[in-house]
Amino acid sequence: MSGKPKIQQYKTLRKLAERLRNDLSDSGFVLLFAYNGTGKTRLSIEFKNKGKNGDQRDTLYFNAFTEDLFSWDNDLENDTERKLRINSESKFFNGFKELALEEKIFAFLERYAEFNFFIDYENWTVTFSKSTETNIKVSRGEENIFIWCVFLAICELTLDGSEAYQWVKYFYIDDPISSLDDNNAIAVATDLSNLLRRANGRIKTVISTHHSLFFNVMCNELKKLKHTRYFLHRSGADGYGLQKTDETPFFHHVAILSELKQVSDSGRINTYHFNMLRSILEKTATFFGYKDFSDCIHGVDDEVLYARALNLLSHGKYSVYEPVEMSRDNKELFNNILKAFLEKYRFELPELLAEKAAASNPS
């Protein structure tokens, strides 16, 4: 008996959202890791919809739709009065005008950025400034940071017992600041953890992410509080697989190896798989304290060829959303490098691989 946590299968995201709500009845937090394209954002919407009853709702959420509540007016005619417009009709902004959140927002914002802002509550717009420059258009990353800080300020109001947010029973946070660098990933995770510790179970919370460092920091920050951790993946025609990671180390890199072994066996190897393979070697090199990822294949036959191939073939900007199949020669190289790596480091690949193989070969 392996003792590995069983993978639970769910046909729909609606059923999966019900499972998360059930988990939260016994736990203050659910931490969910899933790759991009798995359905994290749609899951957050299903979770929110489960709490809707007419005009009543119970979930304050942060996801891609939250960012869409803000849109730019770039003053195309004069190119001087650039504003970020706020969709004031959303219940997200219930207490925004009355509670004047600038101070709370700035307390978070100054940790991540070096610009200032002004909220015009009459016209529901935000203008930005930096040093002596006014009405500037901040970068996309800075805009996302600002929206995230607005969300944190509203969460803080909720925890303070603000009447405008008495309806909130759950926070659902999906991929805060989707393109975080490592430094900001740690900072955002730490600030969010500090805020959630204040909740102390009063506001139940789901956090989903594809960012492995952010996930691990959240796990460490909340380890003394009762919570549940999951790895979520697609199961083809079977819908979605949910596996607990509480009893074993977080194994996203091993799950990626399972995916790579599967595509290698199937022969359907795309160009972006070289990027994934190099990423695994880099993480392994870091774990063992090696100076370079190529040290992971030191001593294997053709190690120089393999290192060159990984250097050359993993530098393209290959997208998982526009897959391009490898040439026959590159497939052979990929298979040989993966095989050599797996023979040198005897990873125990998770049930994820076995279950997918069984699903594709029902006989």
* Residue among 242, 286, 245, 278 nearest 260 (CA): 278
Q: Does domain 1-55+183-245 have CATH number 3.30.420?
A: no
| Partners of residue 61 on adjacent β-strands | 172
Of 60-64, 132-136, 212-216, the poorest mean pLDDT is in 212-216
Question: How many Å apart are CA 176 and CA 29, to the nearest integer?
Answer: 16
Amino acid at site 65: F
- Average pLDDT (15-23) is 93
Spell out the residues 6+ positions from residue 181 whose beta carbon is closer than 8 angstroms to its own.
Answer: none
Asked if residue 67 has pLDDT above 90, the reply is: no
Q: Where are the domains of the chain?
A: 1-55+183-245, 59-168, 252-360
State the residue for tokens 């050599």.
340
Asked if residue 252 has pLDDT above 70, the reply is: no
The pair of three-digit structure tokens given for residue 57, joined into one six-digit string: 């709702």
Q: Could you tell me the pLDDT band of residue 75, with boundaries at 50, 70 and 90?
A: low
CA triple 207-213-35, angle to 5 deg:
60
Q: Could you tell me the pLDDT band of residue 179, with boundaries at 50, 70 and 90?
A: low
| Partners of residue 184 on adjacent β-strands | none
Spell out the residues 6+ positions from residue 223 whose beta carbon is closer than 8 angstroms to its own.
Answer: none
Between strands 7-10 and 240-244, the pairing is: antiparallel
Q: Could you tell me the pLDDT band of residue 65, with boundaries at 50, 70 and 90?
A: confident
- Average pLDDT (143-165) is 89
Using DSSP's 3-state secondary structure scheme, residue 217 falls into: helix
